Amino acid sequence: MSKSHNMAGWRIGWVAGHQDYLDAILKVKSNVDSGMFKPMQLAAVAAFDNPASWHDERNDEYRKRRELLYQLLDKLGCTYDKTQTGMFIWAKVNGAIGKSARLADYLLYEKDIFVTPGMVYGEKGNSYIRVSLCVKQELLKKVLARVEDFEVAKI
């Protein structure tokens, strides 16, 4: 439900399937936690009543955020695949910059912008950054203004 119902980070969902698979999941769950906080369960149930127009509005909002992030990534000289789905965009850092940590540090300390350097996810992420779609458009527009003078050579 985190993505489909705007409950990112809630870690709430449901599962359906063959009884053997459900039994295995329930066995693990019974040893990992003792259940979801009831108000979260009630909110999840209520979310199923959202009209289609609510989902259309959320999808439109995330489309607009994605377009703003594409502008940011273009300005930073990153490459990315527009067919990615989910709450994040992974982008390859410009080769002249080198590792993702270098770009992430520059953005954080010089521009007050946080992006996740891919290296925190393992060695294969060294050349990538991850940006989140969970940021309001107004803030993303401010972020774009902060990188207006960005040049790879300045890093």
| pLDDT tens digits along 13-40 | 888 999 999 999 989 888 887 778 899 9
Could you please report the per-residue DSSP string of the chain?
-TTTTT-TT---------HHHHHHHHHHHHHH-S---HHHHHHHHHHTT--HHHHHHHHHHHHHHHHHHHHHHHHTT-EE-TT--SSEEEEEPPTTT-SHHHHHHHHHHHH----EEGGGG-GGGTTEEEEES-S-HHHHHHHHHHTTT--GGG-
Indicate whether 42 pLDDT > 80. Answer: yes
Indicate whether 3 pLDDT > 80. Answer: no
The mean pLDDT of 84-90, rounded to a whole number, is: 94
User: In the chain, which segments carry CATH 3.90.1150.10?
Assistant: 53-154
| pLDDT tens digits along 57-74 | 999 999 999 999 999 999
The pLDDT > 90 percentage for the chain reads 78
Per-residue pLDDT, 102: 96
Rounded to the nearest integer, the mean pLDDT of the chain is 93
Per-residue pLDDT, 142: 98
Per-residue pLDDT, 147: 97
| pLDDT tens digits along 128-144 | 999 999 999 999 999 99
**CATH node for 53-154:** 3.90.1150.10
